[in-house]
Structures are given as structure tokens and as C-alpha cells.
Amino acid sequence: MGFYVNPTGKSKEQFLREKGVAVPRTFKWTDTPKGSLPVVLIDNGYMTAAAITCSENDFKDCMSIRDERPRQIYTVRVADLVAYGNDKFFNQLVQEGAIAA
């Protein structure tokens, strides 16, 4: 894991409500709509983290059954992730085509 939703001017939760589509916990990586990525909102107790999963392995790591923290999965268009001030390296990967937009 290495990329997280950190929008400018709003919370992660607000961003995901506005730009994401909540999906059930039975969601699989292969269910991801073209041009989108799964984002897993993980409740760490004292804060939340919104992990952008860029590969099936990332997604499986985030959804490990050994990890009992509460979580909600969203699908978010890559264009929205780029537009809302995420990590520069993530944006570069999109521009280079390493992550499908």
C-alpha cells in the first residue's frame, strides 16, 4: 500500500460520499468498473485511512480477514482521484499509463 485519498478542502469521508460508489463487502477486484479503482476506508479508531488499491494484491491486503478493523469499500473514478490532490507519484503513474484512467 502506498496511496491514500487526501482531498484538499474536505474530509476523506465527504469525498467518498460525493465521488465514490459504496459497494458491498463481497466486492471483488474483478468487479471494478473500467476507469475506476477500489478505495477502502479503514477505521483505525483514532482516525480513518482511505487506501487507493492500485492492484489486486493491494486490494487483497486491504481486505485481509486477519485484519478486524471496520472498513467500507468504494469505487472511485481515477479522474476524480487525480483531480482531488492525491499523491504526485500516483498522478504520475496515471499519466504514464501504469494505472488505467
Q: pTM for the whole thing?
A: 0.85
The predicted-structure confidence for 20-39, as pLDDT tens digits, reads as follows 999 998 999 999 999 899 99
Q: Is the pLDDT at 1 greater than 60, yes or no?
A: no
Among 11, 15, 13, which Cα is nearest to 82's?
Answer: 15
pLDDT value of residue 83: 79
pLDDT value of residue 68: 87
The predicted-structure confidence for 48-100, as pLDDT tens digits, reads as follows 999 988 889 889 998 887 888 899 999 999 888 887 756 666 666 777 676 66
Beta strand ranges found along 1-101 (DSSP E)? 20-23, 36-43, 48-52, 71-77
Cβ–Cβ < 8 Å for 48, 7: no
Identify the band that residue 47 occupies on the pLDDT scale cut at 50, 70 and 90. very high
pLDDT value of residue 75: 97
Q: What is the mean pLDDT of residues 4-33?
A: 92
> What whole-number distance in Å separates Cα of residue 27 and Cα of residue 32?
8
Q: Domains of the chain: which residue ranges? A: 12-96
